[in-house]
């Protein structure tokens, strides 16, 4: 059975402007407004792209006339047909990049496929121990990739007994592709620490694997410190801080289930119960109250959800970041550390550093940048697609 849609004849699309150089440089997205017309075809239909001048073929990919990114490019050599050999080559390339991870090693929770970054447009696969979670980014990828066959291929190649599919839409029901639906959160390790991911009900695919390197950084800076982890989810940064020798860690998240999991993860790693406090509360309210009570922590981590889902929301998002950074700075001890993350692709690093500067100065503090981090090696991105390098993580010391 094929891994991709190969039965329909490719639809022919034509550029209305000269984007050939960008495409040859590796930009994998062609927006609908760059195409001369949008022929009627089902989402995921294979496509050949012609240039705007002589009508020469420049690339192959798949098409979704209803998506702003109407064409996702799979191959910039138009002579190469998109078939199973093509798909296997891409998939093997992705597996090859993960040679540093092993299922019996200290880190067996990692991203196996990162969509465009692995030249498998629109497919994400995260591994948690013996379970993988696959997610397709919309109807185009869902029409192009044969998800059941792809899951069987991955299960065979990686000896995975269980693969589960999550839907892009939040709250939409997933389904088992290989094996059965996990009855409870699945166990995995990150740098030797024990975690679980609720792959059925949890956020994203169950865990925020993209913060792995940044959690290690916090681990290294937590010795003998009191740590506040705001927007903690299931306590990733909290457990890292505990492992690094924090004297006490407070985790704050608005979702009670996340806090329950953070408490469970703390215990699971054998840390003393009285050195962790899980608080299910709104972050802004918690920070305001803590600040009015003059509470201070030596390390403060802020990892809010994306405040900028689109370009239009950037001004509002900047002010939301400034507010949360200001509130975080107000509860950071003298000479303490403040770590702030942004996962909004529409807020770039210079913009984010400006938000840090604004928020910190409003709290009447000054910051020294100690480190600027981002996504780990299992989240590769096309050089020509900056939108994919969404994660920014700034570690500062406040005076």
**3-state SS of 143-160?**
HHECHHHHHHHHHHHHCC
Q: Does 255 bind ligand SAH (CB under 6 A)?
A: yes
Q: Phi/psi of residue 24, each to 5°?
A: -65, -25
Q: Which is nearer to ligand SAH, 90 or 219 (CB)?
A: 219
- Least distance CB 170 / ligand SAH (angstroms): 12
Q: Does 282 bind ligand SAH (CB under 6 A)?
A: yes
What is the distance between the alpha carbons of residues 121 and 244, in angstroms, rounded to a whole number?
37
Among 283, 308, 331, 337, binds ligand SAH (CB under 6 A): 283
What is the distance between the alpha carbons of residues 166 and 290, in angstroms, rounded to a whole number?
37
Q: At a CB cut-off of 8 Å and minimum separation 6, what does 182 contact?
A: 131, 162, 164, 199, 200
Q: Does 86 bind ligand SAH (CB under 6 A)?
A: no
Q: Does 254 bind ligand SAH (CB under 6 A)?
A: yes
Among 117, 121, 122, 236, binds ligand SAH (CB under 6 A): 236
Number of residues that bind ligand SAH (CB under 6 A): 18
Residue nearest to ligand SAH (CB): 236
Region binding ligand SAH by CB under 6 A among candidate stretches 22-30, 61-69, 252-260, 353-361: 252-260
Q: Does 64 bind ligand SAH (CB under 6 A)?
A: no
- Least distance CB 72 / ligand SAH (angstroms): 27
> Scanning residues 187 to 216, which ones bind ligand SAH (CB under 6 A)?
203, 208, 211
Q: Which is nearer to ligand SAH, 203 or 269 (CB)?
A: 203
- Least distance CB 74 / ligand SAH (angstroms): 31
- Least distance CB 358 / ligand SAH (angstroms): 20
- Least distance CB 11 / ligand SAH (angstroms): 38
What is the distance between the alpha carbons of residues 173 and 167, in angstroms, rounded to a whole number?
7
Region binding ligand SAH by CB under 6 A among candidate stretches 139-147, 187-195, 247-255, 379-387: 247-255
Q: Does 250 bind ligand SAH (CB under 6 A)?
A: no
Among 126, 165, 253, 326, binds ligand SAH (CB under 6 A): 253
Q: Does 303 bind ligand SAH (CB under 6 A)?
A: yes
What is the distance between the alpha carbons of residues 44 and 61, in angstroms, rounded to a whole number?
9
Q: Does 280 bind ligand SAH (CB under 6 A)?
A: no
Among 161, 305, 309, 386, binds ligand SAH (CB under 6 A): 305
Q: Which is nearer to ligand SAH, 214 or 381 (CB)?
A: 214
Q: Does 256 bind ligand SAH (CB under 6 A)?
A: no
Q: Which is nearer to ligand SAH, 62 or 207 (CB)?
A: 207
Among 237, 307, 388, 390, binds ligand SAH (CB under 6 A): 237
* Residue 223 and residue 244 in contact, taking contact as beta carbons nearer than 8 Å: yes
What is the distance between the alpha carbons of residues 266 and 270, in angstroms, rounded to a whole number?
7
Q: Which is nearer to ligand SAH, 122 or 304 (CB)?
A: 304
Q: Which is nearer to ligand SAH, 35 or 324 (CB)?
A: 324
- Tokens of residue 361, six digits: 């100065």
* Residue 33 and residue 17 in contact, taking contact as beta carbons nearer than 8 Å: no
- Least distance CB 284 / ligand SAH (angstroms): 6
Site of interaction with ligand SAH (CB under 6 A): 203, 208, 211, 231-234, 236-237, 253-255, 258, 282-283, 303-305
């Amino acid at each position: 059975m094929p891994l991709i849609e190969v039965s329909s004849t490719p639809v022919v699309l034509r550029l209305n402007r000269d984007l050939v150089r960008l495409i040859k440089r590796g930009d994998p997205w062609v927006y609908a407004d760059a195409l001369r017309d949008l022929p009627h075809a089902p989402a995921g239909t294979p496509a050949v792209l012609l240039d705007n001048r002589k009508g020469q073929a420049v690339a192959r990919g798949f098409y979704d006339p209803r998506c702003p990114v109407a064409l996702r490019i799979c191959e910039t050599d138009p002579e190469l047909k998109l078939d199973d050999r093509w798909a296997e080559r891409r998939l093997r390339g992705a597996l090859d990049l993960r040679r540093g991870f092993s299922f019996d090693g200290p880190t067996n929770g990692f991203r196996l496929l990162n969509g465009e970054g692995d030249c498998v447009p629109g497919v994400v696969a995260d591994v948690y121990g013996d379970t993988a979670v696959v997610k397709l980014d919309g109807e185009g990828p869902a029409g192009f990739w044969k998800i059941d066959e792809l899951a069987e291929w991955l299960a065979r190649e990686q000896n995975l007994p269980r693969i589960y599919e999550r839907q892009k839409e939040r709250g939409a029901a997933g389904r088992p592709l290989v094996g059965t639906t996990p009855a409870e959160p699945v166990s995995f390790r990150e740098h030797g620490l024990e975690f679980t991911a609720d792959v059925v009900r949890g956020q994203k695919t169950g865990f925020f694997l993209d913060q792995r390197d940044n959690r290690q950084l916090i681990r290294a800076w937590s010795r003998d410190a009191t740590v506040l982890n705001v927007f903690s989810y299931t306590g990733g940064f909290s457990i890292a801080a505990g492992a690094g020798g924090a004297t006490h860690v407070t985790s704050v998240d608005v979702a009670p289930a996340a806090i329950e999991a953070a408490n469970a993860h703390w215990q699971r790693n054998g840390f003393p119960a009285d050195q962790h406090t899980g608080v299910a509360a709104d972050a802004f309210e918690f920070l305001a109250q803590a600040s009015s009570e003059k509470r201070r922590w030596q390390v403060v981590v802020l990892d809010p959800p994306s405040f900028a889902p689109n370009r239009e929301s950037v001004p509002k998002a900047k002010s939301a970041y400034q507010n949360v950074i200001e509130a975080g700075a107000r509860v950071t001890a003298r000479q303490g550390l403040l770590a702030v993350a942004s996962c909004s692709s529409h807020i770039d690093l210079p913009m984010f550093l400006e938000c840090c500067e604004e928020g910190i100065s409003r709290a009447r503090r000054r910051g020294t940048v100690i480190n600027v981090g981002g996504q780990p090696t299992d989240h590769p991105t096309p050089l020509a697609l900056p939108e994919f390098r969404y994660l920014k993580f700034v570690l500062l010391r406040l005076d």
